[in-house]
Structure 1
Amino acid sequence: MLIRNKEFDFKNDAYIMGILNVTPDSFSDGGKWNDVDRAVKHVEEMIKDGASIIDIGAESTRPGYTPLSTEEELERVIPIIRKIRENFDVPISLDTYKADTLREVVKEGADILNDIWGLKSDPKMAQTAKELDIPVILMHNKNNNHYNDLMKDLNRETLESVELAKKVGIREDLIILDPGVGFALDYEKDLSVVNRVKEFVDLGYPVLLGTSRKRFIGKAMGIDVATDRDFGTAITTAIGVMNGCSIFRVHNVKQNYGAMRMALAIKREGK
């Protein structure tokens, strides 16, 4: 897949997506990167540490979060996207489910849609992404955590998003899937999805795994402070590599990049 003139070999390689939250209320780093200069400095550090993509989020998705209007979302992200574009050529994904936001940020230099509702929230999103001709990350999500058969249902519901994309003409080679760890899943189901993620990979699309600092890691390790969960996150990254995941969305780029490269070396047996 070609993104900002960079070739991503999702079949044979893996990549780190560094998280840049420009939110005051994110569960892990809310308020830390709201200042444009600090945010750009952090982007520089993440690129140096091995990030191939920067994912910008303006709206927290933690439980009880406050939804933003399109105007509020754009006020937060556009100055930062502009500053990143002045300094770096790194691909940028935007974590949004609003079509009007997407259209404006692509004008400013964003390259990828990362939709936590998999095109199911905004009825204009699929057509907008098609017109912009950009890669789309479709995450599994829903308003409950009921499943008759976890992976069968999760796969089927994710393929509904794929069908929405294909119906408007989004090319299959621009589709990336995310099983939505930490969304519409409880503790046991989060563990199960990571353990069984190969069944999701077998759908045939590049897979993004987003486990970074999430609650299930804290519960498994007995760690309440989100920023202390990077070691557990790195373990899930290694598991994801061994099971064919292609992108890892993380806060601590350096640690997860190392885990990813080590797992790739083992998987390739040193080749």
Structure 2
Amino acid sequence: MVVARLDKVVVGDGRPTVIIGAINLSDSSFYPGSVVRGRQDIIRRAREMVKEGAQIIDIGAMATGPKSMPVSEKQEIRMLIPAIKAVAAEVDVPVSADTQRAAVAEAAAAAGASIINDVSGLKADERMAEVISKTGCSAILMAARKFPGDVYTISEIREALLSSLNICRRQGLSLKKVVVDPAFGQWPARLSRLGPKTRKKLSKRGYSLAASLDFRILAKLKEIKAERPICVGISRKSSIGEVLNLPDPAARLFGSLAAAAIAVLNGAHALRTHDPMETVHAARVAEAIRDAVG
């Protein structure tokens, strides 16, 4: 059985799907409805998410979508650290810092974060694995060769994740504290690599190659076999909007829940979401169906 610990939360085979509530601090987030600013509003939203079933709160200050703006390390620290400190003091669940920078991760751990969610899979900052190991944090590592989401076939995703796990081994970061993410999403590096054809609609489907590759990841999730539990971030993303012809992320809840249920059926152990309560419901029904045939 594949099992890991994200701080005190056990993730893996034979366990209920872990729900991770996502809070964004950056105004350039692809989903404006997820952005929270101001100490009291951040605390209020974190408490709401926990009440709705989130077992971990993940906070990020640097958006990574196709239209996101760059954020300096200094600015990321200025935005993220007070939020982590406030939430860690007010909720009784682990807090995760969504960052690719070792200095930010180090400051986040000192402020109360016990999980580092690195969408570069330890590839953006060579000090990241060392910092995570030194601070005793758990980690969520996304598939990347060098940049977030710059892989898209199942074999590439598997190789990128295994490469990240090898970095963990070299730096003494226990794999028992690591969960992997297959990089669902239309990441800038993926779109750049695919070139102009990525936005072209497939003739028989009505949505783009980029969206099709995302859905292939969910369809073939069991084939990733990266030795660690799998966390998937699907919530309200562009590919769901393409299928449903819904450009506004605020309208994509139901499509997100359908994708979340399929992810659980196909082997996801954790779901990162903007909508904990609804996602808990979808996950529990999907688990019941999965267990009925298992």
Shared topology, TM-score over 0.5? yes
- Counterpart of 1:190 (choices 214, 231, 244) is 214
The aligned counterpart of 1:45 is 48
Which deviates the most, 105-114 or 71-80?
71-80
Partners in 2 of 1:270 and 1:192 — Cα distance? 23
Q: Secondary structure at the match of 2:235?
A: coil
Q: Secondary structure at the match of 1:54?
A: strand
Q: Is the 8 A contact 1:22 1:30 kept in 2?
A: no
Partners in 1 of 2:68 and 2:276 — Cα distance? 25
- Counterpart of 1:233 (choices 256, 260, 264) is 256
For residues 91 and 270 of structure 1, do their structure 2 counterparts lie closer, same or farther at Cα, with a shift above 3 Å needed? farther
Q: Tell me the CA shift for residue 203 of structure 1.
A: 2.3
Q: Is the 8 A contact 1:21 1:30 kept in 2?
A: no
- Work out the percentage of aligned pairs sharing the same amino acid: 30
For residues 230 and 89 of structure 1, do their structure 2 counterparts lie closer, same or farther at Cα, with a shift above 3 Å needed? same
Partners in 2 of 1:168 and 1:228 — Cα distance? 43
Deviations 1:2-39 (A, max 9, x none): 444x3414221211100000111101026840111111
Partners in 2 of 1:151 and 1:109 — Cα distance? 35
Q: Secondary structure at the match of 2:116?
A: strand
**Coordinate RMSD, CA, aligned:** 2.1
Within 5 Å, which residues of 2 pair with 1:26-65?
26-29=29-32, 32-65=35-68
AA partner of residue 215 (structure 2): L
Deviations 1:93-143 (A, max 9, x none): 111000001111101110101001000011111111111122111101355
Q: Secondary structure at the match of 2:55?
A: strand
Matched, 1:173 2:176: yes
Which deviates the most, 56-65 or 115-124?
56-65
For residues 9 and 247 of structure 1, do their structure 2 counterparts lie closer, same or farther at Cα, with a shift above 3 Å needed? closer
The aligned counterpart of 1:151 is 154
Which deviates the most, 127-136 or 109-118?
127-136
Q: Secondary structure at the match of 1:110?
A: coil
Partners in 2 of 1:31 and 1:237 — Cα distance? 18
The aligned counterpart of 2:10 is 8
Partners in 2 of 1:38 and 1:270 — Cα distance? 43
TM-score normalized with structure 1 length = 0.92
For residues 89 and 106 of structure 1, do their structure 2 counterparts lie closer, same or farther at Cα, with a shift above 3 Å needed? same
For residues 30 and 97 of structure 1, do their structure 2 counterparts lie closer, same or farther at Cα, with a shift above 3 Å needed? farther
Deviations 1:34-67 (A, max 9, x none): 1111111111111111100111010011114222
Partners in 2 of 1:26 and 1:2 — Cα distance? 28
For residues 144 and 91 of structure 1, do their structure 2 counterparts lie closer, same or farther at Cα, with a shift above 3 Å needed? closer
Partners in 1 of 2:54 and 2:177 — Cα distance? 20
How many residues are treated as equivalent by the alignment?
268
The aligned counterpart of 2:22 is 19
Q: Tell me the CA shift for residue 237 of structure 1.
A: 1.0
Q: Tell me the CA shift for residue 264 of structure 1.
A: 1.2
Q: Secondary structure at the match of 2:12?
A: coil
Matched, 1:211 2:229: no
Partners in 1 of 2:222 and 2:121 — Cα distance? 20
Q: Is the 8 A contact 1:181 1:190 kept in 2?
A: yes
- Counterpart of 1:220 (choices 243, 267, 274) is 243
Partners in 1 of 2:85 and 2:78 — Cα distance? 12
Q: Secondary structure at the match of 1:8?
A: strand
Partners in 2 of 1:67 and 1:30 — Cα distance? 20
Q: Secondary structure at the match of 1:248?
A: strand
Matched, 1:89 2:92: yes
Matched, 1:256 2:258: no
Q: Is the 8 A contact 1:24 1:34 kept in 2?
A: no
Q: Secondary structure at the match of 1:138?
A: strand
Q: Which runs of 5 or more residues in structure 2 are unaligned?
A: 192-209
Q: Secondary structure at the match of 2:271?
A: strand
Q: Which runs of 5 or more residues in structure 1 are unaligned?
A: none
Q: Tell me the CA shift for residue 268 of structure 1.
A: 2.2
Q: Tell me the CA shift for residue 270 of structure 1.
A: 10
